[in-house]
A = this chain, B = another copy of it.
């Protein structure tokens, strides 16, 4: 399987393999190394994820990797990001004994694959060491295959993409070790013993060491076997261990700002907003006609401006009613179904029941908005609302499956300007529902 190919619907966003310009930085000889895959990537790659932290900096009781973002534990997003990369064969997660059961439940509930669990140690380095032992063939309890290169990543950096993973792996294969770095946001200083400024470091000459990192397995495993108890207790930097004990100078690679580590409460908020933004980029507008002059198409155009969307697809409902999986593979978690006449609702219900009955794990809340156009001057608005009360009941049902259903009535005025205003308001309501994904507001009938 080629890098970049998806094995199942997963993290939205771009799965980029190393772009030609980046790959060109590696010597041509690497691209034809014996036993290596195309682009110089070794065949056997595994990942170790230390997830034993207690999250004390977050100021909440739940360890940060288990904090919920859109109702799903943060670590599940990170696992999703790693497992969508088909060439990572095994992912070893080190969790504390007390969180082992919770972790198994997460893996089962969200359908994670290729995951093995190891017991976390009392420090980050000890957890990583335990993860490596699970992969090392010299250990009696090793059930996995020893990889050529191992990635080390943090459970609390959910936005890692295939591009940086590939780059650190290829660089580790060449240099023995590699890691992502970022420019410093703040100046780094060293305090004297009396709490005063001793020295300020030149910001241009230093970098923040981030994750992911990758190592030739034998290098990092040797380093952990050699290193002192002091290192295991107080050390923070795997690259440093490889340098100190194996004389391996890690290659440093600039990563994107998305690699930041969820550390404080504000980071959790930021992660939630980033995820909401990503899943709002794809919206499917379902229309029952191919007439491009129709209200559905008009609404789509207004929506495109309102949502500032990367991609709005429109599909007639007949086609999609039977194949909900297509939506999820296309990573579309927002469906706007436009119904000009209210008898269209059977098709809509069929669509929703298919969504509800699907066995696919819904990794994100799916927003479904049923849009009805109605000339408010012809019939009382409330009469039409009465006709749509079934949406409230249906919403209750599908909410159990993480589907957030709303009805939206848009004024179909004969006055072009008024119609435009209604479409704009409708698009703005849809925008709020898509972006905020608030389960508390599911089931409401809204009016534009």
Contact = CB atoms under 8 A, between A and B. Distances in A.
Contacts of A382: 382-383, 385-386
Interface string A299-310: 000000000000
B428 A189 contact: no
Given A189-B239, A243-B197, A269-B273, A441 B446 contact: yes
Contacts of A137: none
B432 A441 contact: yes
Interface stretch (A3-11, A96-104, A256-264): A256-264
A20 interface: no
Contact of A210 (B186, B191, B234, B432): B186
Interface stretch (A127-135, A244-252, A345-353): A244-252
Contacts of A273: 266, 269-270, 272-273
Given A175-B196, A196-B175, A188 B204 contact: no
Contacts of A436: 432, 436, 438
A227 interface: no
Interface string A381-423: 1110110010010000000000000000000000000000000
A274 B266 contact: yes
Residues of A contacting B: mostly: mixed
What band does the interface of chain A fall in when counting residues whose beta carbon is under 8 Å from B? 35 or more
A257 B205 CA distance: 25
A263 B204 CA distance: 17
Contacts of A182: 186
A431 interface: yes
A262 to B, nearest CB: 10
A249 B200 CA distance: 11
10 contacts: A187-B208, A187-B237, A188-B208, A190-B205, A197-B250, A197-B252, A200-B209, A204-B234, A425-B440, A445-B447
Interface of A: 57, 59, 175, 177, 179, 181-182, 184-192, 195-198, 200-201, 203-210, 234, 236-237, 239-240, 243, 249-253, 257-258, 260-261, 263-267, 269-274, 277, 380-383, 385-386, 389, 392, 425, 428-429, 431-432, 436, 438, 440-441, 444-447
Given A196-B249, A269-B274, A444-B444, 10 more contacts: A185-B261, A191-B207, A197-B243, A197-B249, A198-B249, A200-B240, A257-B264, A265-B274, A266-B274, A429-B444
